Structure 1
Amino acid sequence: MSEVELTAEPGEKHQYSNANFLILGAMIEELTGMPYAEYRDQQIFEPLGMKNAAANKEGAYKKGYLSGYQAWFGFPVKSSVAYDNAGAPYGYIAASSADMVQFVKLLSGKGPDHFISDKTLDLFMTPQVQTGENRYYGLGIRISGPDTSREMIWHSGSTPDSHAEVFYIPETGWGGVILTNKNHILEEDGLYYLKNHIISLLNGDETEQVPNHSLVIQSILLGCVLLLIILSIYLWKRFRTRKFLKKGMELFLGLIFIGLSAGLIPVFTASTSSPWHSISVFAPDIALLTILGVILLAINGLLLFRLIFNKAR
């Protein structure tokens, strides 16, 4: 990363990057002379009593980790995504709900004596940069409503086949953990509402209805794919029977279809600010429908150009 240019000066604005945490993990290995997973075991997990936690693939499976599920059109399908054995610094840490309770105790200031000083723990949870309305980022932890009765210390994280939420509310002393073994980028909002629902119950407030997961985007894409299939059949029949469209229509539509097939994925990744690989693993059904759409657009465009060629003959 020595040739990568910064998009902003350090501390100027919040831009989360897994690469930054990988660099931090590499620094820890360099300074301690220990593998990152071993350092976490000795310095974090054991002192906190996180008996089932692990920071590498071997340790995770040994302590009971099971791969989760990806959502395909709302249905759970056993994940085919590999465990990221180098990803522990940014999130591939396996832990049980009981382990995460120990972490919540740390956030509450009730962790083991001498594990971390009060000053360091306070620094860890001090807002460093604003990330949204009344939302801030600390040193690897998120803070909402700081210095109010609604203050919440929290973080969430996702892999293609799991999702985790952990939160602690200083005003009440309550905390919570949500762990799932199925994930889809469009289903994560439901966990946000679920977390708020739990907090409302704890506070005795009116609970907010957790919305049902909707397959609107998948349904729209599926409809578009079916329409393109029907159009392909229609154009193929016209090609076979040498029935042509109105003058210039084949060229106009052919250029549109070829242009859409070439630009659909780049526009999709740019509009979502996500690389294609992330879309394919966090929303595999949407990725599949998008690829089918690209193929069908290209086929229809080529069929239209073939009609032009036949007409010219």
Structure 2
Amino acid sequence: MNTLKVYRLLSTLICLTLALALTIGSVSASPMRQGETDFAAIDAYITEQMNNLGIPGMALGIVQGDQIVHLQGFGVADSSGRVVTPQTPFHIGSVTKSFTALAVMQLVEAGKIDLDAPVQEYLPWFELADKEASAKITVRNLLNQTSGISTKDGDRFWTSQQGLEEHVRGLNEIQLTQPVAKTWQYSNLNYSIAGLVVEKVSRQPYADYVTQHIFEPLDMRHSYASRAPALADGLAVGHHYMFGHAFEREYAVPLPGVPGGGLIASVEDMTHYAIAQLSDGRYGDTSILSAQGIAELHAPAISTGGEEHYAMGWNVTTLDGIPLVLHTGDIGNFHSIAVLMPDHGSGFILLANASGFEQLRQVDAIAGGVFNLLNGKAPAPVSVPINVRFLYWAVTVTPLLMILGIAFSWRFWRSKRVGHILLIVLLYGGIALLWLFLVPQLIESPFSSIRFIHPELAYAVLASAVLGIGWSIYTAMNLMTRRSK
């Protein structure tokens, strides 16, 4: 498994983190029971890890059955020192996908959508580069991430200034990278299209539909589908890690990305949502979906590797005999994870107002510790994987090393032999091309999106390319001049 393919493998990595956590300690795992759970120990663990990792703020919610058994905010929401509370709104990133899948399933139960009908039945103009394949893509394929649209193409929305429909109408040059319905490929674009289907069928904007049919019935009073009202309600400020430090960085998810990763919610509201997911669609006296509908949302549909499967907006796996339904979310300055344990009737939500290339998995690792503590085991230590740290610093330090190398070569230029000069050309040019083409492939995202989400990596790659290719050309030209004399 290549752990550097961050976005596509995010769900698998959290599963592996939890699996590692389950192997630590000698106490047998048992279902969480409210009277036996040491919530103070969980809070102390999160506080310690948050401080060690430099995460400004976090929020935790734990549910058992149809009850919220624990809510806690940690740290600060912004630089003013405003404390995080259970009511503080956070961006939840790709956990949004389960909301979009729920919206689709509500319309299925209303008789307005057929999961196995082609997308073109609801969006007659829908078309990718392959017209024949486009006609085969069903609503179910979108929710199961089996449309054939790649992870990389799914991230193109980050720099979009378009509305949702305009963006989807502009997909006619997108090439499928896998046959329809055959292979799982995590792609935000699948959920953009599904969100537009919700709009067209319900005749409501996506934001209005989710607010009216999910947020309001579940009494989610601090949840939003757009940024402006969330800011008025005290939205936490996002932070992006660069060079080991968290810096405030604020931006809105572009409209085409909202159905796949743009919702905002407090941890208290997310516990209402978790209860409905664990209670056959019911929260209190309200039902947002039938038991059969919830079961279909959680049903494993396509393998993502090993024992992990993707359902509809959820990842499904079994660890140490415990079935899990979960999803993570990340937008570059916020991170979230929702974990459901259906057989135990319990689950938890963990939100953070920080993220970054190195820190992408740290909140997930803390979630692994919470999982352990809920099941009577010691939490695993949290650290950045060495290969991720190596890649990050190798890319960001390369421009500086190139400048030092150029300065050294310039100083002793006249004494260089032809073979040495050729080596410089190959070395600098090779490194420049390696970073320029390898980094987008490892992250599986277009360069424009990397520049938006991880700007320090993007500019380091660009600087390396300019320095490497420029110095190689200059060196080669000087070599030709020297040989012509």
TM over 0.5: yes
Please point out which of 288, 293, 298 is paired with 1:125.
298
Please point out which of 204, 207, 211 is paired with 2:383.
211
CA distance in 1: counterparts of 2:427 and 2:365, whole angstroms = 41
The Cα shift of 1:81 comes to: 4.1
Q: Give the residue type in structure 2 aligned to 1:127.
A: P
- Indicate how the Cα distance of structure 1 residues 247 and 142 shifts in structure 2: closer, same or farther if over 3 A, else same: closer
Q: Give the residue type in structure 2 aligned to 1:179.
A: L
CA distance in 2: counterparts of 1:115 and 1:80, whole angstroms = 33
CA distance in 1: counterparts of 2:296 and 2:214, whole angstroms = 18
SS in 1 for 2:417: coil
1:277 aligns with 2:418: no
1:237 aligns with 2:407: no
SS in 1 for 2:349: strand
Instruction: Please list every run of 5 or more consecutive structure 2 residues that lacks an aligned counterpart in the other structure.
Output: 1-125, 131-175
Q: Residues 106-185 of structure 1 correspond to what in structure 2 (within 5 A)?
A: 106-109=276-279, 110-112=282-284, 113-145=286-318, 149-185=321-357
The Cα shift of 1:273 comes to: 2.5
CA distance in 2: counterparts of 1:277 and 1:255, whole angstroms = 27
CA distance in 1: counterparts of 2:188 and 2:369, whole angstroms = 29
The corresponding residue for 1:76 is 246
Identical aligned residues as a percent:
22
The Cα shift of 1:174 comes to: 2.4
1:220 aligns with 2:394: yes
The corresponding residue for 1:287 is 458
* Residues matched between the structures, number: 309
Please point out which of 467, 471, 477 is paired with 1:300.
471
The Cα shift of 1:282 comes to: 3.4
Please point out which of 273, 276, 279 is paired with 1:103.
273
What are the Cα deviations for residues 5-24 of structure 1, in whole angstroms up to 9, with x where unaligned?
44444432211211111111
Contact conserved, 1:265 with 1:290, CA < 8 A, in 2?
A: yes
The Cα shift of 1:102 comes to: 0.7
CA distance in 1: counterparts of 2:248 and 2:409, whole angstroms = 38
The corresponding residue for 1:13 is 183
- Indicate how the Cα distance of structure 1 residues 90 and 125 shifts in structure 2: closer, same or farther if over 3 A, else same: same
Instruction: Please list every run of 5 or more consecutive structure 1 residues that lacks an aligned counterpart in the other structure.
Output: none
The corresponding residue for 2:127 is 2
CA distance in 1: counterparts of 2:249 and 2:293, whole angstroms = 39
The Cα shift of 1:152 comes to: 1.1
- Greater shift after overlay, 168-177 or 61-70? 61-70
SS in 1 for 2:217: helix
CA distance in 1: counterparts of 2:211 and 2:397, whole angstroms = 50
Greater RCO (Cα-Cα under 8 Å, separation 6 or more): 2
CA distance in 1: counterparts of 2:372 and 2:357, whole angstroms = 24
CA distance in 1: counterparts of 2:451 and 2:470, whole angstroms = 22
1:44 aligns with 2:214: yes
CA distance in 2: counterparts of 1:223 and 1:43, whole angstroms = 49
SS in 2 for 1:182: coil
What are the Cα deviations for residues 44-78 of structure 1, in whole angstroms up to 9, with x where unaligned?
10001111111123333333324411111121112
CA distance in 2: counterparts of 1:7 and 1:64, whole angstroms = 41
What are the Cα deviations for residues 75-115 of structure 1, in whole angstroms up to 9, with x where unaligned?
11121544323422101001011111111111210524332
Q: Give the residue type in structure 1 aligned to 2:456.
A: D
1:194 aligns with 2:194: no
Q: Give the residue type in structure 1 aligned to 2:249.
A: S
CA distance in 2: counterparts of 1:254 and 1:211, whole angstroms = 38
Question: TM-score scaled by structure 1?
Answer: 0.88
- Greater shift after overlay, 98-107 or 199-208? 199-208
CA distance in 1: counterparts of 2:442 and 2:267, whole angstroms = 36
CA distance in 2: counterparts of 1:11 and 1:218, whole angstroms = 35
Q: Give the residue type in structure 2 aligned to 1:200.
A: N
Q: Give the residue type in structure 2 aligned to 1:233.
A: A
- Indicate how the Cα distance of structure 1 residues 194 and 154 shifts in structure 2: closer, same or farther if over 3 A, else same: same
SS in 1 for 2:347: strand
SS in 2 for 1:127: coil
What are the Cα deviations for residues 172-219 of structure 1, in whole angstroms up to 9, with x where unaligned?
332111111111133122222211111111111243222257643333
